[in-house]
Structure 1
Amino acid sequence: MDHQPPCSRCSLPKKAIILAGGLGTRLRSIVSDRPKVMAQVAGRPFLEHLVLSLQSFGITHVLFSVGYLRQVIIDYFQDGQAWGLSFDYSIEEAPLGT
């Protein structure tokens, strides 16, 4: 009988998608000049903490779904090379809701 945990026997996904297009209305007073996911937490944007967490699980490619103030996110993360990852962007031109 095999007693290995299930994830040691299978290939985990290497890609992730992050929904980062919200208006951030509840956080507007704190982050009026940037998307809510770019709010500073412990010295870096919250979104960067999420990216680093995904990286620690072996994720190599991230697709950001961006909308509101998207250029702030795109300018910060660019192609992902600074994190040793690959980033792409899906642009939501008009808010569609989640």
Structure 2
Amino acid sequence: MPEPVTLSDLKAFARIDSNDDDTLLTALGIAAREYVEQATGNDYFTAEAIVPERAKVAIKALAAHWYEFREPVIASAVTTVPMHVRSIIAQLRGGTLEPSE
């Protein structure tokens, strides 16, 4: 099954030109897809899956965030899931994101 977000999609989104971290980026893309699937209750890794563009953006944004902050120095400077990704996930679930979330 092909991933809904390709390595080249991830690299373009994250503005990465080198091939040095391709294995890491691929793993982060898979992990981000799995995270978004679990958070939304949708399966985006089947042959018949129709993956909304919002889901693809959430996957790319989350993978890029994890790539950028893979070596945290200050715990308060690192968030697990960025606000814009949480907002997209809430939309994909059919809900709204409360300010306190």
Q: TM-score, normalised by structure 1?
A: 0.27
Higher share of residues assigned helix: 2
Bigger Rg, which one: 1
